[in-house]
Amino acid sequence: MKVLIIDDERAIRRALREILEFEGCQVSEAENGKEGIESTQKNSYDLIFCDIKMPMLDGMEVLDALNLESNNTPIVMISGHGNVETAVQAIKKGAFDFIEKPLDLNRILILLRNVKERNTMVIESKVLKNTVKRIKGSSIIGETNEILKIKEMIAKVAPSDARVLITGGNGTGKELVARSLHDLSNRGKMPFIEVNCAAIPSELIESELFGHEKGAFTSAVKDKKGKFELASGGTLFLDEIGDMSQSAQAKVLRALQENVIQRVGGEKDVKVDCRVIAATNKDLRKEIAEGRFREDLYHRLAVILIHVPSLNERKDDIPLLADHFLTLICQDHGIPRKNITEKGMEALKSVDWTGNIRELRNIIERLVILCENNIEKEDVMLYANPKQN
């Protein structure tokens, strides 16, 4: 932790430096307010201690100056003439804390711990906001008729609690449709819980969905809530539901009919309140005909049907999608934004996108890493392997 001490008393600076350095801090000093402000303009600090009574600029003036510069560093005011009014005034002006001279060791140690926790929370909050922005802030990219119809459907359906079945190939953006339905609903501030039914072994899917009681099976060492309970009040997204076992399908059907579940190994009914959105890359009508999917469950899920087209069916959206991914990927890699030339974009549109939008994103990342500032047609031909005309 980098700390700046602004105080005109050398003895105070020395005493505070010894405490801070013993706690592993890197310490800088300034003997007046003007010098302190100049130091913050040249360096960044995790914490600033600032005396109130100083020549040239007093501590309150320093506090005002740092606030005007939008300085987010926590500032602790220190004074040998402290009183409640001064402390209140400092806090109102934006000080993190106020301590009196002579300095109390325990108070400083507690203050350091609080500042570390505060700084950690600020960093985590920034990371979380950036992550959320990347995941859900972009909405659905596209202006083709197919995508405009999906956006219109989402706007109509989202405010209701109607169940939705989203169909489409792998990588087309079914999860983004589900998240948009959740975000625009009255449940938007509640949990969005996703279950990939294809990724969970059939013998574990029921425990994952409905939870289990302690002792229900060998590794069940304690009670566990399932995704239905965790999503209560919010949305449960059952991705790739066409891969769900017959046994789990029967229990999901009951949950949808009665809004109750039973944990594995339990006998007590547990009420649940979640909106269910499902998605699949399979033809469920065919699965029903071949006896692999329950028709009654299909009708419970498919109150509203939304089909997400393949990228090959909406190639006019490729420039928008590519531009979006270029911005995100360059930001993630911390490099200046690169550009795709007009011929490079035409080459991208000639690719047979069997992997849909997921494949497009991967190709854009490959091009960003391997190409210079401008991504040319030849680069796309080399790294994306478009069809030859």
Q: Quote the mean pLDDT of the chain.
A: 88
Residue intervals of the chain classified under CATH 3.40.50.300 are 145-309
How far apart (Å, rounded) are the C-alpha atoms in residues 81 and 76?
Answer: 15
Q: What is the pTM of this model?
A: 0.64
For 73-102, how does the pLDDT look when each residue is reduced to its tens digit (9 = 90+)?
899 998 877 677 788 888 888 899 988 888
Instruction: Specify the CATH number of the domain 2-131.
Output: 3.40.50.2300
SS (H, E, C) 276-288: EEEEECCCHHHHH
CATH of the structural domain 145-309, one choice from 2.60.40.10, 3.40.50.300, 3.30.365.10, 3.20.20.150: 3.40.50.300
Which pLDDT does position 372 carry in this prediction? 83
Q: Which residue has the higher pLDDT, 68 or 335?
A: 335
Q: Which residue has the higher pLDDT, 29 or 69?
A: 29
Does residue 70 have a pLDDT over 80?
no
Does residue 387 have a pLDDT over 60?
no
Q: Identify which of 52-66, 251-265, 309-323 has the greatest average pLDDT.
A: 309-323
Residue intervals of the chain classified under CATH 1.10.8.60 are 312-383
Which pLDDT does position 91 carry in this prediction? 86
For 108-131, how does the pLDDT look when each residue is reduced to its tens digit (9 = 90+)?
999 898 888 887 777 666 555 545
How far apart (Å, rounded) are the C-alpha atoms in residues 85 and 285?
Answer: 74
Write down the residue that tokens 């392997």 correspond to: 385
Q: Which residue has the higher pLDDT, 291 or 133?
A: 291
Which own/partner contact pairs does 383-387 have at CB distance under 8 Å and 24+ positions apart?
A: 384/347, 384/348, 384/351, 385/351, 386/347, 386/348, 386/350, 386/351, 386/352, 387/350, 387/351, 387/352
Instruction: Specify the CATH number of the domain 312-383.
Output: 1.10.8.60
